[in-house]
Amino acid sequence: MLSRAAKSSTSVLIRHSAKRYLQTTSTCALRCSHVRGKSQIQPTQQRLNVPQRGVVTHSVQNFQFLGRRYASTSVPVPPMAESLTEGSLKEFTKNVGDYIAQDDLLATIETDKIDIEVISPVSGTITKLNFKPDDTVTVGEELAQIEPGEAPAGGAAAETAPPAEAAPAETASKEEAAPATPPPAAPVAKSQPKKDVAAPKPAAAPKQETTAPASFTPFARNESKVKMNRMRLRIAERLKESQNTAASLTTFNEVDMTALLEMRKLYKDEIIKKTGTKFGFMGLFSKAVTLAAKDIPSVNGAIEGDHIVYRDYTDISIAVATPKGLVTPVVRNAESLDVLGIEQEIVRLSQKARDGKLTLEDMTGGTFTISNGGVFGSLYGTPIINMPQTAVLGLHGVKERPVTINGQIVSRPMMYLALTYDHRLLDGREAVTFLRTIKELIEDPRKMLLW
């Protein structure tokens, strides 16, 4: 039998052990509550009189913040085309923290052929931009993150502003509370004279200005280096590929434009009233190409490995100059369109090219190219084949020149034509015949109705 003193000491030990156990259990529960963001341990806290409600509430706020963070929508680099897997980021239209509406333009990506617009999939606030302008981006990479939500109102902006200002206030109060320490300032003051002593070294710069170029010219001779955009790089690559691959040869002819100019003068006003399209040269030349290609199908063909591909359709690539470089949108099935239909399609594609709105579908394909350097005043030139095509027709400026007709020297509006062709597929006889046929159709456009 235990004595009364032993019993009392034993009961005291049991109470202390139970109290420690409850405190340990309460601490574990509070940690679990802090992680899960729930206040399931509040009954135990009430028994132990531990005021931990603030901690639990803070955990819930953290949990809610993390929930909002993981709810952000990722904006990937969109697909471009089968042959394009990367591009250069041209610009972002918004900054981090800005609000953007759904379907608004977020960024522009520059590719080898066109500019691709990245549209915002949701409305919300931009929380992250992963790239900078001129960075290379790959299809599927995360371009930005957007936290979905409504546009911030004036009241919401005012509520969010004070927390941002509170941090500097706290920092300022801490700086005021910190005692001034003159000793650190003294080394800085001592080190400044040393910097001042070293400062006169840049005075040697004027000696560098008296360089050799200044001795023989009083004019400025500045140079600047600008990075080539992706389209210009691609154009350079394609043109060099053409020179290295094709056995290029150019044949020339000249065409009397009198009949075509008279036809245009007679019907241009009527055509504008009926269709709203300006009647130019490109529609007639394109139609002449499709008709001449029926007699010389190799012009519309292509070499693929050790095979020749012949086509029963003609997709004409029209060279259009844009501020970023030369592009060649395609008029599809030109052989099935009339002259006005071709002209309208050329006007539509040319406008899209100048506005930077061409799509990859507008640029894909093409079996023959027409380049009109005459709009810039070109008199004579040799165009380069647009691979993997076989030939390209170059048009030039219309100039009044003296020519002999029926033994008489008369002045006529003349244009030089140039046909550059791949001699691997097209022989000289076929190339000359093709170009002569175009000449005959342009000099007498009525023949196009009989072809």
CATH number where 409 lies = 3.30.559.10
User: What are the tokens at 148?
Assistant: 């979905």
* Structural domain includes residue 285: yes
Q: Which residues is 138 bridged to in the sheet?
A: 86
Higher per-residue confidence, 100 vs 59: 100
Predicted pLDDT at 176: 46
Report which residue type is found at 85: T
User: What are the tokens at 220?
Assistant: 């400025």
Shared domain for 270 and 407, answered yes or no, is yes
* Structural domain includes residue 373: yes
Q: Which of 144, 82, 152, 148 has its CA nearest to residue 112?
A: 82
State yes or no: cis peptide before 162, omega within 30 of 0.
Answer: no
* Structural domain includes residue 301: yes
Predicted pLDDT at 316: 97
State yes or no: cis peptide before 202, omega within 30 of 0.
Answer: no
Predicted pLDDT at 403: 94
pLDDT digits (tens, 9 = 90+) for 85-121: 888 888 999 999 999 999 999 998 888 777 888 999 9
Predicted pLDDT at 159: 39
Range of the domain at 402: 246-449
pLDDT digits (tens, 9 = 90+) for 279-294: 889 999 999 999 999 9
Average pLDDT rounded to a whole number, residues 12-38: 48
Higher per-residue confidence, 173 vs 267: 267
DSSP string, 229-240: PHHHHHHHHHHH
Shared domain for 306 and 445, answered yes or no, is yes
Shared domain for 136 and 281, answered yes or no, is no
Shared domain for 392 and 285, answered yes or no, is yes
Average pLDDT rounded to a whole number, residues 218-229: 88
In the predicted model, is pLDDT for residue 153 greater than 60? yes
User: What are the tokens at 20?
Assistant: 């420690």
Whether the predicted model's global pTM rises above the 0.85 cut: no
Report which residue type is found at 416: Y
In the predicted model, is pLDDT for residue 165 greater than 50? no
Say what angle helices 282-295 and 428-443 make with each other, to 10 degrees.
140
**CA dihedral (315, 316, 318, 324) positive or negative:** positive
CATH number where 103 lies = 2.40.50.100
Shared domain for 130 and 274, answered yes or no, is no
Shared domain for 445 and 326, answered yes or no, is yes
Q: Which of 8, 56, 58 has its CA nearest to residue 30?
A: 56
Domain count, the chain: 2
State what percent of residues in the chain have pLDDT above 70: 70
In the predicted model, is pLDDT for residue 416 greater than 60? yes
pLDDT digits (tens, 9 = 90+) for 343-383: 999 999 999 988 888 888 898 889 999 999 998 999 999 99
State the chain's mean pLDDT as an integer: 78
Per the document, the length of the chain is 451
Average pLDDT rounded to a whole number, residues 6-21: 53
User: Can you tell me the distance from the alpha carbon of 247 to that of 426, in angstroms, rounded to the nearest whole number?
Assistant: 10
Predicted pLDDT at 321: 86
pLDDT digits (tens, 9 = 90+) for 422-442: 999 999 999 999 999 999 999
Confidence band of 215 (pLDDT split at 50, 70, 90): low
Q: Give the three-class secondary structure for 245.
A: helix
Higher per-residue confidence, 1 vs 108: 108
Confidence band of 199 (pLDDT split at 50, 70, 90): very low
Confidence band of 399 (pLDDT split at 50, 70, 90): very high
In the predicted model, is pLDDT for residue 255 greater than 80? yes
* Structural domain includes residue 376: yes
Confidence band of 202 (pLDDT split at 50, 70, 90): very low
The catalytic site residues sit at: 423, 427
Shared domain for 286 and 411, answered yes or no, is yes
**Which of 147, 162, 183 finishes a domain?**
147
User: Can you tell me the distance from the alpha carbon of 151 to that of 406, in angstroms, rounded to the nearest whole number?
Assistant: 79
* Structural domain includes residue 107: yes
* Structural domain includes residue 35: no
Q: Give the three-class secondary structure for 298.
A: helix
**Which of 147, 163, 190 finishes a domain?**
147
345, 316 Cβ separation under 8 angstroms: no
**Which of 120, 147, 174 finishes a domain?**
147
- How far is residue 191 from each of residues 180, 182, 195, measured CA to CA in Å? 20, 15, 7
